[in-house]
């Protein structure tokens, strides 16, 4: 009996390490791409790649869609604090649900993206965005790898909940 508990605990630890590894991979890719953009572009620079996509360098002092971007500076620490609290919450969720594959993958993606944007706020005072999708004169707000991981993770959380509800029927 004791050995089965030990195995279950080590399996949970291995699962936790996998999810933390995925979060770390997202963080590394996010920060690497931002370093490339910062080294190759000046603020406001843009390079057209296709008829619907540009690489740009934009600084977002706010949150999603530049929410509170012009608030005077306090938002840097506010959003950093939210990111730290969310990180702690997600670490606890990963620890307690490491065996739930889809849920944990979603949380790992969100965690890596959230930490990536917190690192930006701490290092620069803003988040570096560089992916610019557009159609004619309409531009979706520029975003980055961290934002993409957060969005994918949120979608996977929704899918996980839909599947969980269907299994419960």
Spatial separation of the C-alpha atoms in residues 149 and 146, rounded to whole Å: 5
* pLDDT mean over 2-19: 63
Domain count within the chain: 1
45 included as an active-site residue: no
147 included as an active-site residue: yes
What does the DSSP 8-state code read for residue 133?
Answer: E
Asked if residue 7 has pLDDT above 90, the reply is no
H or E stretch including 131?
strand 127-135
Residue 5: per-residue pLDDT = 45
Spatial separation of the C-alpha atoms in residues 146 and 118, rounded to whole Å: 10
Q: 120, 132, 147, 160: which is the annotated catalytic residue?
A: 147
Q: Shortest CA distance to 129 belongs to which of 67, 60, 69?
A: 60
Q: Shortest CA distance to 159 belongs to which of 93, 101, 87, 94?
A: 101
Q: How far is CA 3 from CA 8, 44, 53, 158, in A?
A: 9, 59, 55, 36
Residue 95: per-residue pLDDT = 92
The per-residue pLDDT of the chain, averaged, comes to 87
The tens digit of pLDDT for each residue in 29-87 reads 999 999 999 999 999 999 999 999 999 999 988 666 555 555 555 666 777 888 899 99
Domain that holds residue 91: 2-168
| Burial status of residue 70 (CB atoms within 10 A of its CB: 0-12, 13-18, 19 or more) | exposed
Determine the angle formed by the axes of helices 74-96 and 101-124, rounding to 10 degrees: 150
Tell me the three state secondary structure of residue 100: coil
The tens digit of pLDDT for each residue in 76-131 reads 677 788 889 999 999 999 999 988 999 999 999 999 999 999 999 889 988 999 99
Do residues 11 and 99 lie in contact, with contact meaning Cβ atoms separated by under 8 Å? yes
Q: 30, 120, 129, 132: which is the annotated catalytic residue?
A: 129
């Amino acid at each position: 009996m004791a050995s089965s508990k030990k195995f279950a605990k080590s399996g949970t630890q291995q699962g936790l390490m996998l999810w933390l590894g995925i979060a770390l991979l997202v963080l590394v890719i996010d920060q690497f791409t931002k370093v490339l953009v910062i080294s190759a572009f000046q603020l406001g620079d843009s390079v057209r790649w296709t008829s619907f996509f540009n690489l740009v360098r934009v600084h977002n002092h706010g949150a999603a869609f530049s929410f509170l971007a012009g608030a005077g500076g306090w938002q840097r620490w506010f959003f950093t604090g939210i990111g730290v609290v969310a990180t702690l919450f997600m670490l606890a969720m990963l620890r307690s649900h490491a065996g739930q594959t889809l849920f944990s993958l979603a949380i790992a993606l969100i965690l890596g993206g959230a930490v990536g944007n917190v690192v930006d706020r701490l290092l620069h005072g803003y988040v570096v965005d560089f992916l610019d999708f557009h159609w004619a004169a309409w531009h979706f707000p520029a975003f980055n790898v961290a934002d993409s991981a957060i969005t994918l993770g949120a979608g996977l959380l929704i899918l996980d909940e839909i599947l969980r509800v269907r299994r419960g029927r």
